[in-house]
Structure 1
Amino acid sequence: MTTENKTSVIQSLQIGLNILEILAKEKEPLKFTDIQNLTSMTKSNLYKYLSTLSQFGMIYRNPHTNTYTLGHKLVQLGSVALGHTSLIEMVIPHFKKINERTNLTVLLAVPSIQGPLISYISSSAEYGINIGAQMGTHLPLNCSTGIVFSTFEKNSIMKEWELEELMKFSKDEIEKFNEEKEKTKQLRFATKKEPLVTHVSSFSVPILNFNEELLGAITIVGITETVPKTLDDPTGQFVMEIAKEISEFYGYSK
């Protein structure tokens, strides 16, 4: 029996999972020496584990600070497992309401190191359009979802993504983007005309928690003429009320 119990566990996998658990429990990125102290592993063994986990996207090493955090792959795998995260479970009935009210496609994007990650999409039964993205897609900075994340996301792990995206912008585009951010901060929504696909535009609002941290963004996508562009648009007001209701569930009160 003793032999069976020992052989039923893959020790190397167990060690790798232990490293992930340590990174998950810590509130700040960890240095190599921090992880070594918490695991009591030799430098050579720990280096091999960290390199392997990094290679598969399970952890992320910031090249500027030489610190480690959980990787985008874990976020992607967890988010795509529909119905297994509380945020997705929360938005599903609300997204159906938006579909029925607007006939527009609705998507949920959550934070990840590589940018806003689409973790759930609810398409209208009446209109099926190409929105230029699918589940597991990372959205760019120059779409309405990207603007919302840049405006409300406080976590430093997404700043590198934003800086890399801004390097693709011209001086005029950066100036316009900053104006859009300021407007988004005041109005609590972002709208963008045809950012990914011709004739298809988007409208995004943030989902915040009790600490005003960004949990995700609700984005409605449709033919340009049907997507809200102003604060007084009934469709936009309806989506903003939905986002407010979800945010209040997570303790947001402002």
Structure 2
Amino acid sequence: MEAIKKGTTIQSLEVGMSIVDIIAKQGRPLRFSEIQELTQITKSNLYKYLNTFTQLGVLYRNKDTGEYVLGSKLIEYGMAAVDQENVIDRISPFLNEINGKSSSTVLFSTWTQNGPMIVKDFNNNRGLNIGAQIGTFLPIRSATGKVFLAFMEEQKIREWKAKEFMQISPDKISQLEAECDSIREKEIAFAREPLVPSVSSVAIPILNYKKNLLGAVTVVGFSEFIPQNEDNEISRYLLDISKEISGSFGYRSKEL
């Protein structure tokens, strides 16, 4: 999707939000002097910002201590954002775009007790048998499986991981675990013909503001059209759009 064009911004709003951001990141009530020291904003201007935010409910000032914390209005906004975190609805336009860009099947998978499962697909070539459809559980050696192995909390995937590893030779397990380090660093996974001969895949993680994995977007197609490393044009495109999708859920990548 096209990024929002950078244009003229309201500097005072940027300054105000930077104050709120600093208070949020400290994780504790702050006195006026502490906020002034952290922001380096003049006392007169800082008072205006804090007074405005307090009246709006963005910040709360303890009358006894004079300390500032995040206000009820931000809690309301946060709860509203969580309620709107309908992942499939939000990412569907991206999946459609990826489908058109790659000319290959695009899948979205989420976690279940039985492993990652396909819950959405965009396919402009229904004649291609990719060995997967909505409701299909994907193996650990697929590009999707690798993303979940790399990014999901260990306690959540322990049983699935043990079951999958029983079907893999020790050398393949070592290779897969080593590959996960690269996947976590580069935020992209590749698999050559894991399910069906001549069909390969590449997957990207979708992360939220807590860096929790919401799901994986996977591009599947004939091996000759699916990239096998991050230097490919499609891979670079997927890395860019991955940041955009995850960014819509509050995730900030290491490069931002």
TM range (shorter): 0.5 to 0.7
Match of 2:117 in 1: 117
Q: What is the deviation of 1:158?
A: 2.1
Q: Aligned Cα RMSD in Å?
A: 1.6
Number of the residue aligned with 2:243: 244
The residue that corresponds to 1:221 in the other structure is: 220
C-alpha distance in 1 between matches for 2:247 and 2:186: 18
Q: Does residue 190 of the first structure (1) align with residue 189 of the second (2)? A: yes
The runs of at least 4 consecutive aligned structure 1 residues that moved more than 3 Å come to: none
Say which SS state the counterpart of residue 145 (structure 1) adopts: helix
**Cα distance between partner residues in 2 of 1:134 and 1:234:** 26
Q: What number of residue pairs does the alignment pair up?
A: 170
What does 1:122-161 align with in structure 2 at a 5 Å threshold?
A: 122-125=122-125, 128-154=127-153, 156-161=155-160
Counterpart amino acid of residue 116 in structure 1? P
Q: Distance in 2 between matches of 1:239 and 1:104?
A: 13
Q: Partner letter of residue 122 of structure 2?
A: S
TM-score (norm 1): 0.64
Aligned residue number for residue 42 of structure 1: none
Q: Distance in 1 between matches of 2:225 and 2:108?
A: 19
Report the CA distance between 1:156 and its aligned residue: 2.1
Tell me the secondary structure at the aligned position of residue 194 of structure 2.
strand
Q: SS at the partner of 1:139?
A: coil
What is the CA distance between 1:117 and its match in structure 2? 0.9
C-alpha spacing 1:155/1:87, structure 2 compared with 1 (3 Å): farther
User: Does the 8 A contact of 1:209 with 1:251 survive in 2?
Assistant: yes
Partner of residue 98, structure 1: 98
Opposite residue 89 of structure 1, the aligned amino acid is: D
Q: 2:164 and 2:100 mapped to 1: Cα distance? A: 35
The Cα of 1:155 is off from its aligned counterpart by 5.9
1:128-168: CA deviations, max 9, x gaps? 41111110111111111101100001162322111111111
Cα offset, 1:181, TM superposition: 1.1
> Which residue in 1 is equivalent to 2:209?
210
Instruction: Give TM-score, length-normalised by structure 2.
Output: 0.63
Is the Cα–Cα contact under 8 Å of residues 142 and 195 in structure 2 kept in the other structure? yes
Which residue number corresponds to residue 108 of structure 1?
108
Opposite residue 131 of structure 2, the aligned amino acid is G
Secondary structure of 1:142 counterpart: coil
Match of 1:68 in 2: none
Distance 1:189 1:139 in 2: 17
CA distance in 1, matches of 2:244, 2:127: 27
* Distance in structure 2 (CA, Å) of the matches to 1:245 and 1:85: 15
CA distance in 2, matches of 1:204, 1:159: 21
Q: Residue 181 of structure 1 corresponds to which residue in structure 2?
A: 180
Matching of residue 200 in structure 1 with residue 199 in structure 2: yes
Kindly provide the amino acid, as one letter, of the partner of residue 247 in structure 2: E
Quick check: 1:114–1:158 contact (8 Å CA) kept in 2? no
Contact 1:106/1:218 (8 A) holds in 2: yes
The alignment partner of 2:214 has SS state of: strand
Structure-2 residue corresponding to 1:234:
233
User: Deviation at 1:113?
Assistant: 0.9
Give the CA deviation at 1:85: 7.6
CA distance in 1, matches of 2:243, 2:142: 21
Structure 2 residue aligned with 1:87: 87
After superposition, give the CA deviation of every residue in 1:158-186 in whole Å (9 maximum; x if it has no partner): 22111111111111111111122122122
Whether the 8 Å CA contact 2:85–2:249 is kept in 1: the answer is no
CA distance in 2, matches of 1:217, 1:151: 11
Residue type matched to 2:178 in 1?
Answer: E
- Contact 1:112–1:158 at 8 Å: present in 2 too? no
| Structure 2 spans left out of the alignment, 5+ residues | 1-83
The structure that has the greater radius of gyration is 2
Gap regions ≥5 residues in structure 1: 1-83
